Chains A and B, each alone.
Chain A
Amino acid sequence: MAADPEPRLVLRRTVFWRPVFWRPVLRARATLRLAGLMAAAVAVLSLGAMALQYRLVATRLTEAQKDLLSADLSGLGALYDQRRIIALRQAIDYRAASGGQELLLLTDRHGRILAGTEDRWPADVAPQGAGFDLSTPQEITRGTGRWLVVARELPGGFGLLAGRPLAPVDATLAALKRGMIGLALALLAAAALVGWIAARQVMGRIGRLNRLADQVAAGDLEARLPGPRKADEFGLLETHMHHMLDRIESLNRATHRLSDTIAHEMRTPLNRMAARLSAINGQEETVSQLREEMRGAIRIFDALLDISRAEADHGSGGGLLPVNLSTLAEGVWELYEAAAEEKGLIPVADIAPGLMVLGDRTLISQMLANLLDNAIKYCAPGDRLRLTLSPGPLHLLEIADSGPGLPKGMGDEIFERFTRADRDRGIRGHGLGLALVRAIAMRHGAKLSLPATGQGLTLRLEWPPLTSG
């Protein structure tokens, strides 16, 4: 018995059963991902460029304030060289009165303020050095903003403090930052929009191809894209796809033609042989054996053609009509039940009435006949044979017997052509019955599986039901 109730066949069908509506979302995912990636790359690059610019502006503006401070210091230095503290005091008084931007303070050695824009020496600033240059500048926070200051102790214990505000720098940088954030957001939005438009265009072009592929997969080999093709890579892809479809179509036609030709070329000489056989008198036994052999050869040959035709038509809904699966099952069961009873089996059928599927009446009958014939062939007198058909999301058809089951080590390969177990060499057959069953199941979109049971062989078919609309 198969340990895995999900054979390859079932997996193939799963693809067929996927609901169609979420496919576009899935298809769009790759394109959207690409667009998102492009938008993110643009945004990261722009943000990097903006950060660099921010740094440059910040440095440049601070340098400008430093230059101003340096000019202040050299001016004060020149005055000090001429008339020492008196000149400094006059100049600072004058500057403080004129209300400039700068910070200036002159104290005596007791820390008393001689002149300046401040009334107190800032606590967090200690004088460093005595020169009028820009070495050892300090940053302090006063009031609402940052200041760049230089503190000196001049000969005689006089303290000098000169500073320039960094607030204009900070204000400019803050404005720049706001502008940049706005720009970054606008950039992201623009990148997303451009990405979306690009993705939509690509999706549109790819969607055409996907719809064509779906149509072909659904069995319409003659489907082609309408209208002219553009001279871009998509147009080229469409042309390639058309060439491919032309080739598939002609191969498919050739296959159908070939099977007809083979049928004709093989059956016609057999027919002549049959005609000549009937002219032979007095050897009825041999003639009837030869005829049975000929019939057997034709059956193998028909089964092979039926399998390849059903496989070729797989996925195409063409040729399928609403059929009453219950009635078909009852009919075939009735035909084989007598044979099962005659062999001493215990046949039981439990068929729910009125279950409709989309199918080919003859193929389904053939399939059920193969399954029942198989079960009867392998079971021994006293074995049970059960056919169950019950409704559900998928109509469930099971043929279960209490016979010898599958040979050890065999699973889904029993559905392959010409597969026969060594154990069964003595039993008539060519290993085509179950291969035909699988091909017919696939043709109808029915899931075929071998559920594990304790005894015998159970074969399960799950049919997509036909809902009356």
Chain B
Amino acid sequence: MCLTRRLWCSESAMTMTDRILIIEDDPEIAAAVANEVRALGCEPSHRDTLDGGLTESASGDYRVIVLDRMLPGGDGVDAIAQIRAGGSRAMILVLSALGRAAERVEGLEKGADDYLPKPYEPEELRARLRALLRRGTIQVADNDLMAFGDLEIRLKARTVHVRRSHVPVSPREFALLTFFAQNAGHVVTRMQLLETVWNLHFDPGTNVVDVHVGRLRRKLEEAGAHVIRSVRGEGYLFAQSMAGEPGGG
């Protein structure tokens, strides 16, 4: 898993572990989140009030802050501006019981980097934490060409080639493939795809996303690239079996 570590812990992995701040008043949920954080190889610290969290976010060097909304002391989303004003450059993941579409959009509009409604599934939380940890470092790897073995994605030309032959994909399929490629080696959930590829922030209840992923997957497999596989109950995994590295990395 050398590739994985290098992607999400980047240069800081050499010196210290990434720290994640959890601001959450429910001790049981805080403990569960802390477990997920440790499972990612990062170091959690926990505050159970908004004020405590604000102070801690300003003093500590955190990569990600997991922020609840209905906290003793106020609404976490309203405090995002204060967290930023305190000098923190951490990615903010709001984890809240206020999970209706309108509330998620509100959270994102007020500056959250991601928004996960409770009850969450541990896989979903892990996927989103990983994606946030990777953000910021992915730009370094940003280049025109992303290559995964036989599969080549040219970002500027927006073309996909497998074994040098062109695979025609729709603009949406290209966006889907790019998002998969940027998260290569990690589980990507359906909600993540809906939110980032379609910019829709509600749970449609049906697996409309599966149809699109299925089509892209068939196109790639017909061309000879077996890069997408579904992970039962979690989502999709891209390029895990491929030994190749991203071309720009």
Chain A residues near B (Cβ < 8 Å): 260, 263-264, 266-268, 270-275, 278, 284, 287-288, 291, 294-296, 298-299, 302, 305-306, 309, 331-332, 334-336, 338-339, 342, 360-363, 365-366, 369, 373
A-B contact pairs, 18 of them (CB 8 A): A260-B98, A263-B98, A266-B97, A267-B117, A270-B118, A272-B29, A272-B32, A278-B121, A278-B123, A291-B233, A295-B203, A298-B203, A299-B203, A299-B205, A302-B203, A306-B102, A335-B212, A373-B208
Asked, given contacts A270-B119, A275-B29, A363-B102, whether A338 binds B205 with beta carbons under 8 Å apart, the answer is no
Do A267 and B203 touch (CB < 8 A)? no
The complex places the Cα of A284 from the Cα of B232 at a distance, in Å, of 9
Q: Chain A nearest CB: distance from B209 CB in Å?
A: 8
The complex places the Cα of A298 from the Cα of B100 at a distance, in Å, of 9
Residues from chain A with Cβ under 8 Å of B99 in the complex? 263, 267, 298, 302
Identity of the chain A residue whose Cβ is nearest the Cβ of B215 in the assembled complex: A338
Q: Does B11 count as interface, using CB distance less than 8 angstroms? A: no
Known: A263-B99, A270-B119, A339-B206. 14 other contacts (CB 8 A): A264-B97, A268-B118, A271-B26, A274-B122, A278-B122, A284-B232, A298-B99, A298-B203, A302-B99, A306-B101, A335-B212, A339-B211, A362-B101, A365-B202
Q: Pick from B29, B120, B123, B202: contact of A362, CB below 8 A.
A: B202
The complex places the Cα of A260 from the Cα of B211 at a distance, in Å, of 34
Do A336 and B208 touch (CB < 8 A)? yes
Residues from chain B with Cβ under 8 Å of A295 in the complex? 203
Residues from chain B with Cβ under 8 Å of A305 in the complex? 100
Q: Chain B nearest CB: distance from A437 CB in Å?
A: 13
Within 82-135 of B, Cβ neighbours of A (below 8 Å) are at 97-102, 105, 117-123
Do A331 and B198 touch (CB < 8 A)? yes
Q: Tell me the count of chain B residues lying within 8 A, CB to CB, of chain A.
A: 37
Q: Does B201 count as interface, using CB distance less than 8 angstroms? A: yes
- Chain B contact residues: helix, strand, loop or mixed: loop
Residues from chain B with Cβ under 8 Å of A373 in the complex? 204-206, 208
Q: Does B3 count as interface, using CB distance less than 8 angstroms? A: no
Q: Does B6 count as interface, using CB distance less than 8 angstroms? A: no
The complex places the Cα of A397 from the Cα of B205 at a distance, in Å, of 23
Q: Pick from A271, A288, A291, A302: contact of B29, CB below 8 A.
A: A271
Q: Does B12 count as interface, using CB distance less than 8 angstroms? A: no
Do B202 and A369 touch (CB < 8 A)? yes
Do B102 and A335 touch (CB < 8 A)? no
The complex places the Cα of A295 from the Cα of B120 at a distance, in Å, of 10
Q: Chain B nearest CB: distance from A68 CB in Å?
A: 99
Within 69-91 of B, Cβ neighbours of A (below 8 Å) are at 70
The complex places the Cα of A264 from the Cα of B119 at a distance, in Å, of 10
Question: Beta-carbon contacts of B157-172 to A below 8 Å, as 1s and 0s?
Answer: 0000000000000001
Identity of the chain A residue whose Cβ is nearest the Cβ of B197 in the assembled complex: A335
* A-B CB proximity, top 5 nearest: A267-B97, A271-B119, A270-B119, A275-B32, A274-B119
Q: Does B13 count as interface, using CB distance less than 8 angstroms? A: no
